[in-house]
Chains A and B, each alone.
Chain A
Amino acid sequence: MAEPTVSLAIDGIRFGYNGTDVLNNVQFEAHSGELIGLIGPNGSGKSTLLRLMNGILKPRLGTIIMEGRDLDKMKIDEIARICANVPTEFSEDFNLSVKELVALGRYPFSKGLWWDTNEDEELVTEAMKKYGVHHLRDRLFSELSSGEGQRVLLAKAMVQCPRVMLVDEPSAHLDLRYKLEVMEHLREMLSGNVTIVIASHDLNLLARYCDKVMILSKGKIVALGTPEEVITPEMVAQVYGVDVVVIKDEDGIFAIPRRTRREQS
């Protein structure tokens, strides 16, 4: 198998709002076919990092290279043809149906066209089936449960045929079964040489599924490596100030917190 190519190279990124740096000298590389987990406490800069990687924000210093090209020099629609985003929160009051919403993912590829092509429709149908929302296709998006809505957004990102996919807290509204299913689907997409960066608070879900995990704390990457290397009791104590027990089984590792306050005996 060919050497995996670098699809995202982040080099010396600094970014701040109002003079204070939210991200400070962040750098890492992501290869195609990799699922990278991004963890860190609230306010550590996870969402900011995602918004830099999709070109919404511009770094004060440093470069982001996506598929060999400087993100800063790419047009917004060029980025959209490579990079898809799945937001955490999303609401819509305009009577869009599920399939209409999923079909919007084809927009970057069909500017100037009036109607969707047959190919667009096939991709939309396939994605809706994959994420288990095909039976909801004619329902209004606003009537869905948040878990269903999240799966619709994942399907929308999938029809964008992305090479890089940025997912912000995908498991927030999903129940246990769908959490696992979504992660399985994301892993499946990797075989098409996609790079997926996924920010989440769910340490264990990321530990189970990601190739690499990155911990962001106070705007810096404090650890980057395989889940086993990164998610250790010491690291979790340092970043979250929480004591955990890390346990290993055949699927990898998982961390369980100890009670913060022990009862005096």
Chain B
Amino acid sequence: MNDTMVGRAKAKLLMVLTIGLFSIFFLLVVSWSLGAVDIPFTSTLGHLKNIILNLGPDMSVAHERIIWDRMVRSVAVMGVGIGLSVSGVVMQALIRNPLVDPYVTGISSGAALGATLSILAGVAIIPLAEFATPIAAFIGATVAFFITMSLAEATGGRSMNYVLSGVIVGIAISSFTTILIVFSRDQRLHNALFWLYGSFSYISWVEALLIILPVIVLSLILLMFARELNVILLGDEHARHLGLDVKRFKSISVLVVAVLTAVSVAFCGIIGFLGLIVPHSARMLVGGDHRLLIPASMVMGTNVLLAADIFARILFRPVELPIGAIISMVGAPFFIYLMIKRGKEYSG
């Protein structure tokens, strides 16, 4: 019985989830312990127990207050880690290209322009002043996404059309962002750049929950599409041979991915390569079946981003590095490696 495909798939999934969740817990404890002030691990665990038992922190205890602040941050980190990884997996399947990331749809450039505009112009959407940047980023992401998709559909809707449209729209929008940045020379510039490289500083509980809750819901929706995503890997025509209404499925799932990516970048900025590296590594680990691939990417993405966040905070402390820079430093060589390996395969 255990040698059936399903039996083995379930065993593999269980193993990945167990190891993944264990390692997430470990990273969380490390993440709550290290920072400008170090707290011993055992003491962190004790405070954690208190926070859970008391349904909240005791604000009169300094360490507990610090841990509580770090928790906010790690919730947001986990949300973004899941969001970008899952949207990467799904985008790669929909575009049928394992070397694209969710930003291929122009979403990151759109979000960047929106956020830069709001930061530099000091746009305050009363009474949502606090959320001006994420809202502007979200709107920018959605608009860029629709421009890219319309362009790709208009030019034939093939895999390459999506990639090229995304690149073109991305470059066009980025030029506006660049011009905006050239014209600003004060503290706001620093804030804008900080956002552009991705930052989890100054995040509030409300914001963290606004990231992680939609991310989990949208990821679960995409997880429910796992078998359809497997079928779509065969190509549009072949998927239709198997009875999948490709057009309908694609329009729904592309929309879900767009919102998922937009939520993931709106609050904390652009973190490149995560949506590319994680799906790829997960595929090497568990194979191409999305029933395993999506959950594996969720735990892997969480792990990678939590680890990157820890390094961003402690590598040159008290200076905090942008988390996007950390991921890119590891991600770029990894991507080059993939291109070399894949490129050889294609030419053969």
**Chain A residues packing against B (C-beta within 8 Å):** 54-56, 76-81, 83-85, 87, 90, 92-97, 99-100, 103-105, 107-108, 110-111, 113-116, 118, 121, 124, 142, 160
A102 nearest CB neighbor, chain B only: B5
Which 8 residue pairs spanning A and B have beta carbons closest together?
Answer: A80-B243, A77-B243, A95-B288, A96-B288, A108-B243, A94-B288, A85-B241, A115-B6
Given A114-B227, A115-B6, 6 extra CB contacts under 8 A: A56-B237, A80-B241, A107-B231, A118-B4, A121-B5, A124-B5
- Tell me the nearest residue of chain B to A51, going by C-beta: B237
Q: Is the CB of B287 within 8 A of A85?
A: no
Instruction: Check B243–A95 contact: CB distance below 8 A.
Output: no
Query: If the complex has contacts A96-B289, A99-B5, A114-B291, are A81 and B234 also in contact, measured as CB distance less than 8 A?
Result: no
- Judge whether B242 and A104 touch: CB under 8 Å: yes
Report whether B242 and A56 are in contact in the complex, using a CB–CB cutoff of 8 Å: no
1/0 per residue, CB under 8 A from A, across B224-261: the answer is 00110011011101101111110000000000000000
> In the complex, A237→B289 CA distance in Å?
50
Nearest B residue to A97 by beta-carbon distance?
B287
Q: Which residues of B contact A99 (CB under 8 A)?
A: 5
Contact B240–A76 (Cβ < 8 Å): yes
Indicate whether A80 sits within 8 Å of B242 (C-beta atoms), given known contacts A100-B288, A100-B289, A104-B230: yes
Q: Is B93 an interface residue (CB 8 A)?
A: yes
Shortest CB distance A47–B (Å)? 11
Residue numbers in B under 8 Å from A54 (CB-CB): 241
CA distance A77 to B342 in the complex (A): 35
B283 touches A94 (CB 8 A): yes
Partner of B244, one of A85, A97, A107: A107
Q: Is B284 an interface residue when CB atoms closer than 8 A count as contact?
A: yes
Chain B nearest CB from A18 CB (Å) reads: 15
Instruction: Please list 8 pairs of residues, one from A and one from B, whose beta carbons are closer than 8 Å in the complex, sorted by A's number.
Output: A76-B245, A78-B243, A87-B237, A92-B234, A93-B345, A95-B288, A104-B230, A107-B230
Classify chain B: how many residues form its interface, as a range.
20 to 34
Which residue of A has the minimal Cβ distance to B233? A94
* Docked complex Cα distance between A114 and B237 (Å): 23
A90 and B5 form a contact (CB under 8 A): no
Residue pair B6, A121 in contact (C-beta under 8 Å): yes
Query: Is the beta-carbon distance between B243 and A104 smaller than 8 angstroms?
Result: no
Centre residue among A76, A77, A105 by max chain B CB count within 10 A: A76
Q: CB distance A95 to B241 under 8 Å?
A: no
| B70–chain A nearest beta-carbon distance, Å | 37
Measured between beta carbons, the chain A residues less than 8 angstroms from B98 are 93-94
- Closest residue of chain B to A101 (Cβ to Cβ) is B234
On chain A, the residues within 8 Å of B345 by CB distance are: 93, 142
Give the complex CA separation of A56 and B287 in angstroms: 30
Q: In the bound complex, how far is the Cα of B243 from the Cα of A160, in angstroms?
A: 11
Nearest B residue to A118, CB-CB? B4
Task: Indicate if the CB atoms of A121 and B231 lie closer than 8 Å.
Answer: no
Pairwise interchain contact A79-B234, C-beta atoms closer than 8 A: no
> Smallest CB–CB gap between B14 and chain A, Å?
13
Chain B residues with CB under 8 Å of A114's CB are 226-227, 291
Closest A residue by C-beta to B93: A94
B283 engages A95 (CB within 8 Å): yes
User: Looking across the interface, which residue of chain A has its beta carbon closest to that of B286?
Assistant: A95
A124–B6 CA distance with the chains assembled, in angstroms: 12
Q: Would A85 and B5 be within 8 Å (CB), given that A93-B98, A96-B233, A104-B230 are in contact? A: no
